[in-house]
Amino acid sequence: MRKELLLKHIIGDTSNQENCMVDQWLAKSADNRKYYAELKNLLVMETMPQTKASAEELYNFHTRMEQKQERKKSNISRQLIFAYTTAAAALLFAAYILFPKSADKRLNIEELVRVELSDIPNEYIHTIFTEPGTKAKAVLPDGTTVLLNSGSTISYPDKFLGNTREITFSGEGYFNVVSDSLKPMIIKTGHNLDVMVRGTEFNLKTFDSTKIETTLYSGKITLITGTDKKGVISYTEVLPNTKSYVSENGTVQLQKMDKMLNTATRAWTKGRLIFDNTSMSQVIKDLERWHGVNIVVTDNTILKYNITADFNSESIVQIAELIKLSARIDYKYQDKTLYLSGR
Amino acid sequence: MSSSTINKKFNNVYCEYLHKVRHFCFSYIQDKEICEDITQDVFETLWHRRDSVVLDSTILPYLLVIAKNKCLNALAKSKVKSKYTWRRSNSSKDDINAFALNELSVSKLYSNEIRKIYSEALDSMSPLVRDTYIKIRVEELKYKEVAEKEGVSIKTIERRITIATSILRKYLRDYIKMIVLIITGLHSV
């Protein structure tokens, strides 16, 4: 093997073909590897730069050390407070026994080896997108099924690697996640929310980024709403028959579900569109997506109406006719566009 | 030593060796970000030990030993991670880099550095002094032999050796305490 080629390889100046040659040569014997190592180490030592660090680099180092110091201090004072409150905590012991679940737990997500979609080359990622007016069903590599409502996108790898099942999702979907307690699924919404699930049925709706909605029917889901500077993950665990809303800044609002709400959220998977005292502007958005039409409001007074209705397989014209019957609204349908006006 | 003089010494060490440590890490770790993290980690370690470590020119091998261990850790970690991903293109280079790092023993790091300072010291000598020094100390010729060959008195040879030794002592001042341990292997290379 030529020394020049080895030196070129050490500097990282070789072509793919040359790399293969060197790799093969290295694999041949321990002596070869030893020789290469000696050469490399010598070169590293001989090419030590003679430049000095700039004032800026020195400054940056000290700022960083100070920041770390401060963080440590605040940890220490927290420990002190903890010591003083131990006595007080003893008094609360009875309560603690009654509600053991309220104990502060840290989410051990960091211990999981995560292979995120961004780590994976594009050719291994599947993406399904539903145009307005269409729906689809995605079957993930682990057997999990996701029903996609109109205007939704799901991306998943052709194989789940690592200790998690990582997917991205936007729009509205009804998830039936195959249970695997060792390998949670993590759904990234692209907003201030990741959903961690192990095996559940739930509905996820991300159309409104200021109010992302999840509805849980069975099992358990964990809403991960961000990580603070110290790496502490804030999260909320949701129990079945609960609706949750996550706002843009990560606050979580939970709502116990009654039967009516239950059917309403799940209705779209059965081809039903249910409005329960829903504002006109929301109805228009849903209808546009559901039927793949444009809706133009020519008279803003109609936006003051709230609609309660249960549509099954009516066409957009039939729906418009029903709205016309129940409110002082008129319509005209032309070229896939519905014009709504007051009467 | 007051803490302000220690901090000042630390700053000198940081400025003097930051780029060298970074160069070292980057030679074995291909990920620029990880490499920068390790470099800063090395100096953070030194910062925490600045009261107990001698902050003179012997510090570079010390820093490189820390860097070496951190680099090996990072390489082992990336090997684990690459098992889970499709990115395998760098693994053969990582393997040989880890091998090379393992070959780089502590004493080698020190002797490398001493050898370098040693040759700097030789370079700084006048040609006459250097020649004489090499003949006497490296080639192990007799004072008399050299004196006769060069047509000078033995006294002159003795004086040149004294000058050479004092120059070497000045250059290797910081290392002199440990030099006894390593100097045996120095001439053999």
Please answer yes or no on whether A58 and B47 come within 8 Å at the CB atom.
Answer: no
What is the 3 state secondary structure string of chain B?
A: CCHHHHHHHHHHHHHHHHHHHHHHHHHHCCCHHHHHHHHHHHHHHHHHCCCCCCCCCCHHHHHHHHHHHHHHHHHHHHHHHHCCCCCCCCHHHHHHHHHHHHHCCHHHHHHHHHHHHHHHHHHHCCHHHHHHHHHHHHCCCCHHHHHHHHCCCHHHHHHHHHHHHHHHHHHCHHHHHHHHHHHHHCCCC
pLDDT digits (tens, 9 = 90+) for A314-327: 788 888 888 887 77
According to the model, what pLDDT value does residue B19 have? Answer: 94
Distance CA A31, CA B166 (A): 41
**Residue in A20, A51, A61 to test binding to B, most B beta-carbons within 10 Å:** A61
pLDDT digits (tens, 9 = 90+) for A75-118: 666 666 666 565 555 555 544 444 443 334 556 666 667 777 77
Whether the per-residue pLDDT at A1 is higher than 80: the answer is no
Please answer yes or no on whether B11 and A58 come within 8 Å at the CB atom.
Answer: yes
The reply to whether B3 touches chain A by the CB within 8 Å rule is no
Nearest Cβ partner for A37 among B92, B100, B112: B100
Nearest Cβ partner for B18 among A34, A53, A161: A53
Beta strands at A337-342 and A294-297: parallel, antiparallel or unpaired: parallel
Provide the token pair at A145.
């099924």
The reply to whether A11 touches chain B by the CB within 8 Å rule is no
pLDDT bin (cut points 50, 70, 90) of residue A170 is very high
Among residues B157, B153, B155, B179, the alpha carbon closest in space to that of B168 is found at B179
pLDDT digits (tens, 9 = 90+) for B14-48: 988 999 999 999 999 888 889 999 999 999 999 98
| A126–chain B nearest CA distance, Å | 16
The reply to whether B43 touches chain A by the CB within 8 Å rule is yes
Query: Which residue type occupies A331?
Result: Y
Please answer yes or no on whether B14 and A58 come within 8 Å at the CB atom.
Answer: yes
The reply to whether B87 touches chain A by the CB within 8 Å rule is yes
Give the mean model confidence (pLDDT) for residues A217-232: 80
Nearest Cβ partner for A65 among B47, B96, B104: B47
99-158 in chain B: CB under 8 A from chain A: 99-100, 103-104, 108, 112, 116
**Residue in A7, A40, A59, A159 to test binding to B, most B beta-carbons within 10 Å:** A40
Contacts of B189 in chain A (CB under 8 A): none
Please answer yes or no on whether B112 and A45 come within 8 Å at the CB atom.
Answer: yes
According to the model, what pLDDT value does residue A88 have? Answer: 56
| B16–chain A nearest CA distance, Å | 5
Residue A139's CB: how many other CB atoms inside 10 A?
A: 10
Q: Which residue of B has its CA nearest to A124?
A: B86
Global ipTM: 0.72
- Cα–Cα–Cα angle for A220, A226, A231, nearest 5°? 110
The reply to whether A72 touches chain B by the CB within 8 Å rule is no
pLDDT tens, position by position, for chain B (189 residues)? 677 778 888 888 998 899 999 999 999 988 888 999 999 999 999 998 888 888 887 888 889 989 999 999 888 887 766 666 555 556 678 888 888 888 887 777 777 777 788 888 888 899 989 999 888 888 888 888 889 988 889 899 999 988 988 888 888 777 765 554 444 444 443
According to the model, what pLDDT value does residue A95 have? Answer: 43
The reply to whether A35 touches chain B by the CB within 8 Å rule is no
| B120–chain A nearest CA distance, Å | 13
Contacts of B120 in chain A (CB under 8 A): none
Please answer yes or no on whether A113 and B84 come within 8 Å at the CB atom.
Answer: yes
Determine the number of helices (DSSP H) and then strands (DSSP E) in chain A. Answer: 8, 19
Instruction: State what percent of residues in chain A have pLDDT above 90.
Output: 11
The reply to whether A120 touches chain B by the CB within 8 Å rule is yes
Contacts of A64 in chain B (CB under 8 A): 40
